[in-house]
Amino acid sequence: MKLDHTGIDTVKTDLNLLDDTMKEYGLERGEHWDYERVTYDRKFEINEGVYYLRIFGVATEGDVGANKATIQLLTPLLGKHYYPHGVEYGQDEVFPDDLVKQCEKILKNVKSQLDEFLPTK
């Protein structure tokens, strides 16, 4: 499920600031990166199953491997995990309303915190 209308896809910021901020909200980069891309995940284990909030980003400047990059965030996704196949994001998936609201709140808070560091226009 695409989590449109969160505004997170308008954020372009420093990788280290992004790592610190995401970690505050339980979103871990872990091993999900290469030199041009990053992925932040937060796992939710609830009665209905295991879900992941996933936020992708691409380097517009610099190098992720050197921890010196500017990252443009993309539209976040909410997916359901199916063992052993992986995470599904499709339209046919059913996502609990409470989980969707929780994820939207997390994204709003992340964006708000990152916006504090963006230069004013």
What is the number of domains present in the chain? 1
Instruction: Examine residue 65 and state whether it is found in any structural domain, yes or no.
Output: yes
Domain of 103, CATH number, reads: 3.30.310.100
Instruction: Examine residue 1 and state whether it is found in any structural domain, yes or no.
Output: no
Instruction: Examine residue 42 and state whether it is found in any structural domain, yes or no.
Output: yes
The model's pLDDT over 9-54, given as tens digits with 9 standing for 90+, comes to 999 999 999 999 999 999 999 787 888 999 999 999 999 899 999 9
Helices 97-115 & 15-24 angle (0-180, nearest 10): 140
Instruction: Examine residue 3 and state whether it is found in any structural domain, yes or no.
Output: no
Alpha carbon distance 115, 10 (integer Å): 10
Hey, what are 43's tokens?
A: 């796992």
Cis peptide bond upstream of 84, omega within 30? yes
Instruction: Examine residue 31 and state whether it is found in any structural domain, yes or no.
Output: yes
The values of phi and psi at residue 71, to 5°, are -110, 130
What is the span of the domain harbouring residue 59?
Answer: 8-115
Instruction: Examine residue 120 and state whether it is found in any structural domain, yes or no.
Output: no
Q: Does the pTM of the predicted model rise above 0.85?
A: yes
Alpha carbon distance 42, 49 (integer Å): 14
